Amino acid sequence: MKLSWILLASAIGLGACTSSTQDEIASTVPPAEPAGPIQQVQWRALVAAGDDSIAVFDNAVDQMTEILRSRGVRRIDRFTSDPMLAQKDRMIATTDSMAVALASKPPAAGQGCFVFLTSHGSRNGLLLRDDLDHDRGLDPSAFGRMLDQGCGNAPTVAIVSGCYSGIFIGRVTEAPNRIILTAARDDRTSFGCSAEERFTYFDDCLFQAWPNARTWAGLYRATDACVRAKENALGAVYSEPQAYFGSGVSNLGMP
């Protein structure tokens, strides 16, 4: 596992954070503006950066925190992988520390659960650089258990940003009450992981799309179009951000 992260870091130096077809995804994503009423809930959130080798991941956590706070989200558990940033309200990101935080205050009736993770990715999972107890990584099974125990049956949105992050959509993570968005499909890299960027391409597009989106489906569609434009300009193989919408949350509104 350690060797795989070293090889991945070499690829990232070239700009990559290095399955379903896009037509198949489009057919399962609800319309940006649903026919029925939008389901509104109060949110509790967890946002985490899994690596500190470049600033883009902690930058994204800061930006997501600012967005959520401006939308009235009060409970936000923040995580970093940079010891210099770690403090009481910004803990070191590990599988166990995030699971404990999420489960310590599960969503009450009328509340939703939001999780945003951003880091380098591999075909095995998402890099958590300081998680020595789990080979420095979060895999889909552990993530599924985290959502089961911390979010339960509440409306839940999980956004996983990293190369190959499509692996986080599948049997161990899907549920009728969940929406899962990822930066790439399970066999594709994503882009923008460099010291010259403020955010990764996917995260930047996500933040640009957020102010004008009313639903998660609308957010996904706008983010996907933005990522495609950025990667076309780069001449890169399209990362194909992925989306899963559970049957019970197709009209779920955003904070």
pLDDT, tens digit, 9 for 90 and up, residues 87-125: 988 999 999 999 999 999 889 999 999 999 999 999 999
Q: State mean pLDDT over 5-16.
A: 37
Mean pLDDT of 3-26: 41
Question: Which positions ≥6 away from 42 have C-beta within 8 Å?
Answer: 72, 110, 111, 112
pLDDT at 5 over 70: no
Residue 204 reports pLDDT greater than 90: yes
* Contact assessment for residue 213 and residue 38, using Cβ atoms and an 8 Å cutoff: no
What would the mean pLDDT of 32-58 be, rounded to a whole number? 92
Is the pLDDT confidence value at 18 over 80?
no
Residue 23: per-residue pLDDT = 45
Query: Is residue 164 within 8 Å of 88, Cβ to Cβ?
Result: no
In whole angstroms, give the CA distance from residue 102 to residue 85.
20
Query: What integer is the mean pLDDT of 211-233?
Result: 95
244 within 8 A of 174, measured Cβ to Cβ: yes
Q: In this structure, how many other beta carbons lie within 10 angstroms of the beta carbon of residue 146? A: 23
Please say if the pLDDT value at position 14 is more than 70: no
Region 57-82: mean pLDDT is 97
**Residue 58: what pLDDT?**
97
pLDDT at position 31 is 79
Q: How sure is the predictor about 6, in pLDDT bands with cuts at 50, 70 and 90?
A: very low
Model pTM?
0.89
Distance separating alpha carbons of residues 54 and 77, to the nearest angstrom: 21
pLDDT range class, residue 229, cuts 50, 70, 90: very high
Helix axes 216-234, 201-209, angle to 10 degrees: 140
